[in-house]
Structure 1
Amino acid sequence: MVKRALGTLACLTALAAVAWSPSALSQDFKSPIKLLVPFPPGGSTDALARLMAPSLSKALGHNIIVENRPGASGQIAATLLKNAPADGSTFLLAPDHVGVMVPLIMPTAGYDTLRDLLPIGQAATYPIAMSVSNSTEARTLEEYLAYVKREPAKANFGVPVVGGAFELVGYKFGSAAKVKMTAVPYNGSAPMMTDMMAGSISSGVMGLPDGIEQHRAGKIRTIAVTGDKRSSILPDVPTFQEMGFEGLNVMSWHAFFAPKALPRPLAEKFNQAIATALQDADVRKRIAEMALEVAPTSLDEASRIIADGVAFWKPLMAAGGGTK
């Protein structure tokens, strides 16, 4: 009996060694990987996702499929991610509006970023821009201000999402200029841009990357950007701050997220894949052309950025800062 017991123990020990070996514990992604984008095709988030997807696929060894799931200011995509299996099969690329502000301004958002999502890594940062329709004939912030004072019925600005930093910038501009501005929310920057080019709205407040190509093509005019310094992409465009509009130096970002329970090893692998993709010379060049600044972070830094963003915006949103 003793020999039999010892034999059984040896067998169990061997099985345990196999079960706890590094190879047995190694975790991998479920292929193909879905990369959710919370807006329609045509905007900067979609463009960045499609630009980085091939490099991420190469770094991870798995095919990545970009899937647009627009609607409700990003709530649809974020909620899909929250409810997705935490097995490395689904990720989200989203701007700070979706990652921070939506749950703060919409109690029924269906997700709480700190509770339900796992920040995987930041990819890029960018300023917020105010651009005007050519129908205004304004070429500067002063000229646009004079225009809306002459035409108060046209004192409106489109925003690609409801509430948040874009509305905050538009309303703060109007308040400082003593002009009543009206926000016109859209489901993404692409339809907003269409209306601005058609003259249906006189201006738009969006991420600089969303309007850079239209500005370069002369279809709209970008007249001011947020931040402490001018964008290196548009050095001739002044900041709100240098034009005397204080408190408009906020910056935005794009970051990757996963379901909250994603195992740490998979999260670290994806974070490293982001860093690897952003080291590619062609990717960096194209990101710069999109008016984005490459800004990768570690896994822990990404979490701190989200927590700091929530701490900064929560009191402003509670006071109605992003909705007038």
Structure 2
Amino acid sequence: MHILMRMLVALALSTTVSTAAYAAEYNGPIRIVVPFAAGGATDALARLLAPGLAKELGHTVVVENRPGASGQIGTAYVKNAPADGSVYLLALDHSVVIVPLITPTAGYDALRDFTALGTVARFQWVLSVPITSPATTLQQFMEIAKNDPSKRNYGVPLMGGMPDLIGSSVGNKSGVAIEAIPFNGSALMMPQLIGGQLASGVTGSPEAVTMVRAKKVRPLAVTGDKRSQLLPEVPTFAEASVPGLNLNSFNAFFAPKNLPTTIADKFNAALRKTLANPDVRKQVSDMSLDLVDSSSIPEAKSELERTYRFWNTSAAAKR
């Protein structure tokens, strides 16, 4: 009887272990959800990294765009997805951290609902005007906005956070309210800015550099505590007498909370190998992004926590 019981217990334990191992080893296609429209910098970054991740992970990797509500729709989708390695999120700190702070109905929390898997790149925010605008400096733009109500607007690829803070800070400095015109991603905003339907617009440095090189917009100022190496002639907002805009943003991979450690480690290792590829590194640099090529899971978690603390205590996040 004792022998039979031991055999049954051993069989039960074996079944449990086998089931757990099966659950931890997902064998289907992997989806990378981008919570913005196709054509923007985050989407381009996801599509650049997908082949390398597919090679390293041994799975088909598909990029899936789920835009809307400043990244809220796609981010919430991943939060509710199975934590089995089938779905990952490549997003800005904005959609993961700031949106739930300013939108009570978002239904997710950066620290509670996601596993940070690795920071990919960082970038600055840029305020630009159409190339046809008479403003060649931020001071001139503020003077024009002060005198012409039709020029008191700025396009933003998402609401809240740094883009919103830029507009409110410039408005406060100029003494007039400047209206934010929201879009679901930079790709949808840029044609309106280039065409002059917007008086100004805030984009990440990748989109800004592309438009500047094509001579379609004129950049007036950048965030951060130093000038962009890609736009060295453009002053920081602090240099242009608009302080408090020295925080930059990052792109990072996330997974639903409770992703098994073995899967998280495997994904992080695949990401780091992909980012070490010289061709990938060059293409990321060509996208005007500051590559982060050695972000471990603890480092990614620490960066997420620092960003959360900043915006959670900042009145700017709740505008």
Above 0.5 in TM-score? Answer: yes
Report the residue type matching 1:263 in the other structure.
P
Which of 48, 52, 57 is the matching residue for 1:55?
52
- Cα displacement string for residues 102-123 of structure 1 (whole angstroms, at most 9, x for unaligned residues): 0000000121121212111111
8 Å CA contact 1:75, 1:110 repeated in 2 = no
Shift of 1:8: 6.5
State whether structure 2 residue 274 is matched by structure 1 residue 277. Answer: yes
Gaps of 5+ in 2: none
CA distance in 1, matches of 2:14, 2:304: 40
Bigger Cα displacement from structure 2, 5-14 vs 90-99: 5-14
TM-score by length of 2: 0.92
Percent identity over paired residues: 46
Gaps of 5+ in 1: none
Shift of 1:97: 0.8
Which of 294, 297, 302 is the matching residue for 2:295?
297
Report the residue type matching 2:98 in the other structure.
M
- Cα displacement string for residues 138-197 of structure 1 (whole angstroms, at most 9, x for unaligned residues): 222233223323323212111001222110111112212323211111111111111111
CA distance in 2, matches of 1:322, 1:220: 28
TM-score by length of 1: 0.91
In 2 relative to 1, CA 142–92 (structure 1 residues): closer, same or farther, beyond 3 Å? same
Q: How does 1:1-324 map to 2 (within 5 A)?
A: 5-6=2-3, 9=6, 27-295=24-292, 296-316=294-314, 319=315, 321-322=316-317, 324=319
Q: Size of the alignment, in residue pairs? A: 317
CA distance in 2, matches of 1:282, 1:147: 44
8 Å CA contact 1:39, 1:68 repeated in 2 = yes
8 Å CA contact 1:29, 1:62 repeated in 2 = no
* Structure 1 residue runs of 4 or more that deviate by more than 3 Å after TM superposition: 5-21, 23-27
The CA RMSD over aligned residues, in Å, is: 2.2
CA distance in 2, matches of 1:48, 1:94: 10
Report the residue type matching 2:246 in the other structure.
N
In 2 relative to 1, CA 89–131 (structure 1 residues): closer, same or farther, beyond 3 Å? same
Shift of 1:59: 1.2
Report the residue type matching 2:168 in the other structure.
Y
State the structure with more CA Rg: 1
CA distance in 1, matches of 2:115, 2:296: 13
8 Å CA contact 1:19, 1:25 repeated in 2 = no
8 Å CA contact 1:129, 1:207 repeated in 2 = yes
Shift of 1:31: 2.0
CA distance in 1, matches of 2:21, 2:93: 37
8 Å CA contact 2:142, 2:174 repeated in 1 = yes
Report the residue type matching 1:315 in the other structure.
T
Bigger Cα displacement from structure 2, 135-144 vs 226-235: 135-144
Report the residue type matching 2:299 in the other structure.
E
In 2 relative to 1, CA 58–162 (structure 1 residues): closer, same or farther, beyond 3 Å? same
